[in-house]
Amino acid sequence: MASETIVLIIIIVLLLVCIILEAKKLARYKKRNFEITKSLFGILQAERQEIAVSGMHVYLLTSCFYDYLPLNLKLKINNEELKYGALLHDIGKLAIPKEILNKAGKLEKKEMILVRSHTDKSEMMLSDIDGLEKVAKWVKYHHERIDGKGYYKLKGDEIPLEARIIAITDTYSSIIMGRSYKPTGTREDAMTILRMDAGTQFDEELIGYFSHIPADRLNEAGVQVHNMMSRYLDMNA
């Protein structure tokens, strides 16, 4: 995709988010505003389908995850802001060439550095938008590990709670939905990996809560994403 197209898409993203956040000041518009944001990802799907699909799936999974968190954790979280963080968690990948993101083989060192930079790019896109400053930090740190071996070497509670939540739903999504460079897995595959890495990569307490979400609730998120993809494909056929 031409660099001009990437820039245009990014500008559209930022402008719409700014408009939405301004309107968020009126509580009765919150639900409609988030629906507008989700519709934006239909626009992105035409050019960067993987980013759009991942954003929508992680958003749906995170919304579901929130419902199964205990009250003491819910009280620490602004659910509206968490939704934006989940939806926009990989928005910085718009600045990464598709041929690198979708490369089938092993990435070269410079390519890996570029791919990892998407978290910084996401933060830069969102941090200057009034109302998204905290969200910008969550998307920046959603690849951190509990053991401190992530991108920025934060560990344990140094990692924002919301980033720890998105880390789980993003990993689950990447296994279930697959990527252009790897096949899809099953729910059982995903849960096995999450449990195996609980306490090292992921927050062990949060993995416990995620593990108790009924399979049909998690599967519903995938069905919704596939239905949305089908609708947009039909519209553009």
231 pLDDT tier (thresholds 50, 70, 90)? low
Which carries the bigger pLDDT value, residue 208 or residue 107? 208
In a domain, 36, yes or no: no
> Average pLDDT, whole number, for the chain?
81
Query: In whole angstroms, what is the distance from residue 78 CA to residue 26 CA?
Result: 16
In a domain, 228, yes or no: yes
Rounded to an integer, the average pLDDT of 9-26 is 52
Task: Name the residues annotated as catalytic.
Answer: 93
* Separation of CA 171 from chain center: 9
Query: In whole angstroms, what is the distance from residue 229 CA to residue 42 CA?
Result: 8
In a domain, 41, yes or no: no
234 pLDDT tier (thresholds 50, 70, 90)? low
In a domain, 117, yes or no: yes
Q: Provide the percentage of residues in the chain whose pLDDT is more than 90.
A: 51
Rounded to an integer, the average pLDDT of 85-104 is 86
Which carries the bigger pLDDT value, residue 227 or residue 216? 216
In a domain, 203, yes or no: yes
- The alpha carbon dihedral of 27, 28, 30, 36 has a sign of negative
> Which CATH number characterizes residue 218's domain?
1.10.3210.10
How many domains are there within the chain?
Answer: 1
Residues 6+ apart with CB under 8 A from 160: 134, 137, 138, 141
In a domain, 217, yes or no: yes
- Asked whether the predicted pLDDT for residue 122 surpasses 60, the reply is yes
Q: Which residues in 54-86 are b (16+ Cβ under 10 Å) and which e?
A: bbbbbbbbbbbbbeebeeeeeeeeeeebbbbbb
In a domain, 70, yes or no: yes
Query: Token pair for residue 120?
Result: 């910084």
96 pLDDT tier (thresholds 50, 70, 90)? confident
Range of the domain at 85: 50-235
Q: What is the DSSP letter of 195?
A: H
Which carries the bigger pLDDT value, residue 32 or residue 95? 95
| pLDDT tens-digit series, residues 179-217 | 655 668 889 999 999 999 999 999 999 999 999 999 999
In a domain, 25, yes or no: no
Query: In whole angstroms, what is the distance from residue 185 CA to residue 63 CA?
Result: 21
